[in-house]
């Protein structure tokens, strides 16, 4: 599609992306009228697809009643009702919600609240955070410092070091040795995390932060069984908090409302965004445990993180409607069912492909990883920009997907991430895999 001239500062300053001029369920409509199947919901955002009439009506209704009221002075009905829906309903569910405008802000809030919790308990030295390599937690400075994605970090280095350090991720395809059992792999990662606590000084660590299913950086990587239990135990032992970043993998994407429900643990603090509002309004949230909130309430009494647009009534009204629809239409059952179909179709289409090394995911959150050699798991030379070429070929074939590049150190290869809307039919799933197959 011809690039259009634009004064908008796009993320690539060398190219202008095509314009989207409309949406219709799982489809996006480009300016030349072409319909593009949105197989990744943007970046795992559009969980209800595009232009859902109920969400549009809820936004219009809220806009006609109250579009904005600053949280320094007022709360609002949609914020209260949305918070009520989000807290404490599953075992270990968190007690309070702090609404922000997106994922990075939710992570920033999580980092700050973790620090504040320890300060209020008289442990101000707990200022360090342990995160993982090949992770992404957002693009604001704190969140970028938490993320272990080398190419995003390097242009802005040194970031907030030494507050953040990074351990090996639970990425079995590249990190597990062939002669190692899954349990032994988990044991090795746990030992490394323990060693990192010891290296830093266990009483200097505020929190460990991780994505339960790693999203964009490595491509839908769930952790091996027992990993998060081991992490939770180590955090407990050292009095550090566990922050889970479910910005991408949360809000039903993996088949349960929160991805951590499938790990048999609960976090102390959690960041959510994308699927919360389904892209209808910018919104994110930090969820926090009762213990943390009570500590702050009975201490300084204030979490100093106010942003102008937090708990925005329109954003909360949109997210509230999105969440009501997901619950009323039992869409998480559909996520599980269609997720199985997606796995099956991907396995049929790419299981024997000589350049597809791994097919992995959970729920409606799947990725294929491309490798030059399946035997050695060697990725393609990043200079080939294979992921960009697949994206262009898919787009030409009427498929929007979310590809990401591999790393020069071969720690992961080019991959394509699929996160279709929860409303995708089995026909849509077939079409996604067929079009992706043609592009690859
Ligand atoms: N955390 C994770 C796991 C993410 O995937 C993202 C966005 N891709 C973010 C944080 C940042 O969210 P946002 O882009 O809304 O700031």
pLDDT of residue 160: 87
Give just the sign of the alpha carbon dihedral 35, 253, 345, 436.
positive
Q: What is the ipTM of this complex?
A: 0.99
Centre of ligand 1 from the C-alpha of residue 279, in Å = 13
Nearest to 403 by CA among 412, 27, 411: 412
Say yes or no to pLDDT of 1 above 70.
no
Q: Among all chains, which residue has been given the structure tokens 């700050």?
A: 112
Neighbours of 97 (CB within 10 A): 21
Q: Are 120 and 204 in contact (CB under 8 A)?
A: no
pLDDT of residue 16: 87
Centre of ligand 1 from the C-alpha of residue 50, in Å = 20
Q: When comparing pLDDT for 3 and 390, which is higher?
A: 390
Q: Percent of the chain at pLDDT above 90?
A: 88
Q: Are 154 and 332 in contact (CB under 8 A)?
A: no
| Domains, the chain | 20-52+330-439 (3.90.1150.10), 58-328 (3.40.640.10)
| pTM exceeds 0.90 for this model | yes
Alpha-carbon gap, residue 38 to 48, rounded angstroms: 11
Region 87-115: mean pLDDT is 92
Say yes or no to pLDDT of 3 above 70.
no
Beta carbon of 435 within 6 Å of any ligand 1 atom = no
What radius of gyration do the chain's Cα atoms show?
A: 21
Of 137, 169, 244, 246, best ligand 1 pocket probe by most atoms within 8 Å of the beta carbon: 137
Which atom of ligand 1 lies closest to the CA of 249? 3
Beta carbon of 136 within 6 Å of any ligand 1 atom = yes
pLDDT of residue 4: 52
CA 331 to chain centre: 19
Beta carbon of 247 within 6 Å of any ligand 1 atom = yes
pLDDT of residue 231: 98
Region 74-101: mean pLDDT is 91
The string of pLDDT tens digits covering residues 241-288 is 999 999 999 999 999 999 999 999 999 999 999 999 999 999 999 999
Beta carbon of 213 within 6 Å of any ligand 1 atom = no
**DSSP secondary structure string for all residues of 184-212:** HHHHHHHHHHHHHHHHH-GGGEEEEEE-S
Q: Are 368 and 412 in contact (CB under 8 A)?
A: no
List the residue whose alpha carbon is closest to atom 13 of ligand 1.
103
| pLDDT range class, residue 14, cuts 50, 70, 90 | confident
Is there a cis peptide before residue 158, judged by omega within 30 degrees of 0?
Answer: yes
pLDDT of residue 118: 98
| pLDDT range class, residue 407, cuts 50, 70, 90 | confident
pLDDT of residue 19: 94
| pLDDT range class, residue 2, cuts 50, 70, 90 | very low
What count of residues does the chain have? 440
The string of pLDDT tens digits covering residues 104-135 is 999 999 999 999 999 999 999 999 999 999 99
List the residue whose alpha carbon is closest to atom 12 of ligand 1.
103
List the residue whose alpha carbon is closest to atom 15 of ligand 1.
103
Beta carbon of 140 within 6 Å of any ligand 1 atom = no
């Amino acid at each position: 599609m011809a690039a259009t001239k634009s004064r908008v500062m796009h993320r690539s300053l060398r190219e202008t992306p095509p314009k989207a001029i409309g949406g219709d369920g799982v489809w996006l409509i480009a300016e030349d009228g072409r319909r593009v199947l949105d197989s990744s919901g943007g970046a795992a955002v559009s969980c209800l697809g595009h232009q859902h009439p109920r969400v549009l009506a809820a936004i219009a209704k809220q806009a006609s009643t109250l579009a904005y009221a600053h949280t320094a002075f007022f709360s609002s009905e949609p914020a209260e009702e949305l918070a009520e829906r989000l807290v404490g309903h599953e075992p270990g569910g968190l007690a309070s919600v702090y609404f922000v405008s997106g994922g990075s802000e939710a992570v920033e809030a999580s980092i700050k609240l973790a620090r504040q919790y320890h300060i209020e308990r008289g442990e101000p030295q707990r200022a360090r955070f342990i995160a993982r390599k090949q992770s992404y937690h957002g693009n604001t400075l704190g969140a970028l410092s938490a993320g272990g994605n080398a190419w995003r970090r390097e242009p802005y280095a040194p970031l907030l070091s030494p507050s953040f350090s990074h351990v090996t991720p639970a990425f079995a395809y590249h990190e597990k040795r062939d002669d190692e059992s899954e349990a032994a792999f988990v044991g090795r990662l746990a030992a490394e995390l323990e060693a990192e606590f010891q290296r830093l000084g266990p009483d200097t660590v505020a929190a460990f932060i991780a994505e339960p299913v790693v999203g964009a950086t490595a491509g839908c990587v769930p952790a091996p069984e027992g990993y998060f239990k081991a992490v939770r135990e180590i955090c407990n032992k050292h009095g550090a908090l566990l922050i889970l970043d479910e910005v991408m993998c949360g809000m039903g994407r993996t088949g349960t409302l929160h991805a951590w429900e499938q790990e048999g643990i609960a976090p102390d603090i959690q960041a959510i965004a994308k699927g919360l509002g389904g892209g209808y309004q910018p919104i994110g949230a930090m969820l926090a445990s009762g213990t943390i909130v009570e500590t702050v309430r009975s201490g300084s009494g204030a979490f100093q993180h106010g942003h102008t647009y937090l708990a925005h009534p329109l954003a909360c009204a949109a997210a509230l409607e999105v969440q009501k629809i997901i619950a009323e239409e039992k869409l998480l059952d559909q996520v599980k069912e269609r997720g199985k179909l997606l796995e099956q179709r991907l396995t049929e289409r790419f299981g024997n492909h000589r350049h597809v090394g791994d097919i992995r995911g959970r729920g409606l959150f799947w990725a294929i990883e491309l490798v030059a050699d399946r035997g050695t798991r060697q990725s393609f030379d990043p200079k080939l920009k294979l992921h960009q070429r697949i994206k262009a070929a898919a787009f030409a074939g009427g498929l929007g997907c979310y590809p990401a590049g591999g790393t020069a150190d071969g720690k992961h290869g080019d991959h394509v991430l699929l996160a279709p809307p929860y409303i995708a039919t089995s026909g849509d799933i077939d079409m996604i895999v067929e079009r992706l197959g043609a592009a690859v």
